Copies of this chain bind each other. A is one copy, B any other.
Amino acid sequence: MFRIAVDAMGGDFAPKEQIAGAMMAIRNIPDIEIILYGDEQVIRPLLTNPERISIVHAPFVIPMGEKNPIQAIKSNKDTSSMARALQSLRNEEADAVVSSGATQALIAGAHILVRRMQGFKRTAIAPVIPSVSGKPTILLDSGANISIKPEFMLQQAYFAKIYAEEILNVENPRVGLINIGTEPGKGRELDHEAYALFSSTDLFEFYGNVEPKEILDPPCDILISDGFTANIVMKTIEGTAKGMGKLLKKHLTSTFFGKIGALLAKKNLNDFKKSISAEEIGGAVIYGLYKPVIKAQGASKEFGFYNGIRQAANICRTGVFEKVKQYLDTNQKEFEDE
């Protein structure tokens, strides 16, 4: 049995959708138990089937856009549903955490309340983004480290490689460096150094530089950059997809035939919408912690949140974190330059 700690209070539609997602997970995944952290009085009536689900009372919610997430976590360590869920890892009460609460608070909380993997220098957030081919792409670091060294990016890329193999079933995953051009000399000092380091490693197959104009149809499985750049990429994908969706709707409904056409193609348009929806894909994993913490989308509904839990269970079952730990243990010396 894997024990999944769920922050029931974080997210745009919490706790209703989080609780529904947890019950869906229990129905579909036989080898898990769930601990819901949140306001017991609110959760209890929504939890129509408490099979293999327990509740720990922790009613406080760290608001989205909290200006000082570190302080918020520290001063609400015992009452915040997110903080309590995170602490369950250190206390050996759970094997993974799933939360759709405020991203910055979750990262801050993970740093304060969850140990890092020994030898792993900088944690990274790694969402999986959709692609035209249907093959998922791991994008990192999507926001944990504004500035970073190439050696630490190497560790993160290796983590992503193991994740891609074990969770996404990609054979021999290839790593690409996000850059403004494909030639080796493109970009900033960091990009040149990372290019040189990645070219000389045998930890994974390095594809080279990838321009984001191929972001939904990339020639590799893992795309990496510093936390500022990859976060900008992720948010630009989100903004473009959202904007294009609105434009498409506007144009389709502007004429009679357009409306009829859209009605006939309704199922297809919905499939299209699904194919680019984060709901279908699950959450972003924080790499480099002692145990898995999964950030589900803030707007997660039942199915999206269920997917986050499924992902957490898969990570536990396949032992991704253990594999990375083993590698770090046998290669300590390479990374002693912090």
Copies of this chain, whole number: 2
- Give A263 to B264 CA distance when docked, in angstroms: 10
B residues less than 8 Å from A261 (CB atoms): 260-266, 268
Distance, CA A275 to CA B211, complexed state (A): 23
A132 at the interface (CB under 8 A from B): yes
Asked whether A178 is an interface residue with its Cβ less than 8 Å from the other chain, the reply is: yes
Q: B-facing mask of A262-300, CB < 8 A → 1, else 0?
A: 111111110110011000000000000000000000000
Minimum C-beta distance from A332 to chain B (A): 31
Interface residues of A in 216-235 (CB under 8 A from B): 216-217, 228-229, 231-233, 235
Contact status B276-A251, CB under 8 Å: no
Residues A264 and B260 in contact, CB atoms below 8 Å apart: yes
CB of A232 within 8 A of CB of B275, answer no
Contact across chains for B180 and A247 when beta carbons are under 8 A apart: no
B265 touches A238 (CB 8 A): no
- Chain B residues near A263: list those with CB within 8 A: 261
Q: Given that A211-B235, A232-B178 are known contacts, is A271 also in contact with B243, CB under 8 Å in the complex?
A: no
**A42 on the B face (CB < 8 A):** no
A236 near B265 (CB under 8 angstroms)?
A: no
Known: A252-B268, A261-B261, A275-B251. A217 touches B246 (CB 8 A): yes
Complex contacts, A180 vs chain B, CB 8 Å? 143, 228, 231-232, 235
Of A238, A247, A260, most B-chain CB atoms within 10 Å: A247
CB of A314 within 8 Å of the partner chain: no
- Min CB–CB distance A240 → chain B (angstroms): 4
What is the CB-to-nearest-CB distance from A125 to chain B, in angstroms, rounded to a whole number? 12
Contacts of A178 in B (CB 8 A): 232
Q: What separation, in Å, do the CA atoms of A25 and B94 have in the docked complex?
A: 69
A236 and B215 within 8 A (CB) = yes
Given the known interface contacts A229-B232, A232-B178, the answer about A258 and B268 at a Cβ–Cβ threshold of 8 Å is yes
Closest to A191 in B: B228
- Jot down 24 A-B pairs with beta carbons below 8 A, ordered by A: A132-B246, A146-B187, A146-B188, A178-B232, A180-B228, A180-B231, A212-B235, A212-B236, A213-B236, A216-B244, A229-B229, A232-B233, A232-B236, A240-B241, A240-B244, A247-B272, A248-B272, A251-B269, A252-B265, A252-B268, A258-B265, A261-B261, A261-B266, A264-B264
12 further A-B pairs in the complex, CB-CB below 8 A; given A188-B228, A252-B268, A264-B264: A180-B228, A211-B235, A215-B243, A217-B246, A232-B232, A232-B233, A232-B236, A240-B244, A241-B244, A255-B268, A257-B265, A257-B268
